[in-house]
Amino acid sequence: MDLHGPENTIRLSATDRGLRAAVALLRDGRQVAFPTETVYGLGADARHPRAVAGIYRAKGRPRFNPLIVHVSNIDAARALSVFDPTAEALAAAFWPGPLTLVLPRREGNGLADLVTAGLGTVALRVPAHDLARRLLMAFGGPLAAPSANPSGRISATTADHVMEGLSGEIAGVLDGGPTGVGLESTIIGLEDGMPKLLRPGGLCVEDIEAKLDQPLTNPEHTKITAPGQLASHYAPKADLVLNADVADAGALWLGFGPLNGRRGLSLSPTSDLTEAATALFGHLHELDRMAGESGVQRILVDPIPMQGLGRAINDRLTRAAAPRDS
């Protein structure tokens, strides 16, 4: 079966012409990366088994990790899944935006089985980015889109990051500049009426709990196929040391707050968590490049407070620091 790649990856501009070209490629069953407000997604027609298989191929992604389906509005989401009152309330409050809802699949919804990796649920999201929305409208159907990075590597927040990781593996990338939020969406599971936090992300847990007027459960010990299954993720090539407070002349720092003369980059010189989230993946890409160039083995990371977006930032950093096989 020909799933494309290696091929010439085209950079498409954020114009009507670029959008038309992206839509033509997607209709042809090809894979095209596009910006969302969180990170760049690697899109393909969610109803087309070969198109979806091409996403797994391009990312080198394990088959069992299901994909998020992006739609242009809540009606399109309702056509693919079964909404309960909690889902309705969350969608009304936070869509379009950095929230993904995992809901029971609607029978005969037309999605390729590979999208949900055989689960009875489907992850859905209405992105807020203008270019993503225009693409979804012009395409006129659901787009499966995981983050546009090779499996296990740092997510892409610019078209350049996408090119570094996936050039030659995908048909194109729509260049919409750097993404705004910088962290993937928050994923909430609603399969059995109890809202569960499956992945912290760009929408603060506190905001969701305030809306629901109840705390989210944290399903560490359930069998759900959640992103946490893959302990090592978002990994730079250098070793990452969290909550560092040691002086290490040979290391590079990922700071939070002022660097005060330390070598490296600060996520936010003023200790602002929103700014830090936006900068996280870009700084990891950049520090990894700097470490490679100067032969540095270790990137030391300042402590990040465990509140608001800090929860998602710590989640990504913990995965980036986790032991890996290769």
Q: Does 129 bind ligand TXA (CB under 6 A)?
A: no
The piece of 9-17, 92-100, 143-151, 257-265 that touches Mg ion (CB under 5 A) is 143-151
Residue closer to Mg ion (CB basis): 121 or 185 = 185
At its nearest, how many Å lie between Mg ion and the CB of residue 148?
A: 9
Where in 261-280 is the site for ligand TXA (CB under 6 A)? none
Residue closer to ligand TXA (CB basis): 17 or 63 = 63
Distance (Å, whole) CA 155 – CA 145: 13
Contact of residue 72 among ligand TXA, Mg ion, none (CB under 5-8 Å per partner type)? none
Where in 132-171 is the site for ligand TXA (CB under 6 A)? 145-147
Q: 148-166 b/e with 16+ CB inside 10 Å = b?
A: bbebbbbbbbbbbbbbbbb
Distance (Å, whole) CA 53 – CA 29: 10
Helix axes 310-321, 273-294, angle to 10 degrees: 20
User: Which among 174, 153, 63 has a CA at the least distance from the CA of 114?
Assistant: 63
Q: Does 232 bind ligand TXA (CB under 6 A)?
A: no
Q: In what order do the strands lie in the sheet with 10-13?
A: 10-13, 172-175, 32-35, 40-45, 143-144, 68-70, 121-125, 99-104, 186-189, 196-199
Binding mask 187-226 for ligand TXA (x = CB under 6 A): x----------x-------------------------xxx
Q: Which of 36, 147, 158, 186 binds Mg ion (CB under 5 A)?
A: 147
At its nearest, how many Å lie between Mg ion and the CB of residue 20?
A: 28
Residue closer to ligand TXA (CB basis): 102 or 244 = 102
Residue closer to ligand TXA (CB basis): 100 or 266 = 100
Contact of residue 190 among ligand TXA, Mg ion, none (CB under 5-8 Å per partner type)? none
Pairing label, strands 239-241, 298-301: parallel
Q: Exposed, middle or buried: residue 124 (CB in 10 Å: 0-12, 13-18, 19+)?
A: buried
Residue closer to ligand TXA (CB basis): 39 or 173 = 39
* Interaction site with ligand TXA (CB under 6 A): 36, 38-39, 41, 65-68, 100, 102, 116, 119, 121-123, 125, 145-147, 184-185, 187, 198, 224-227
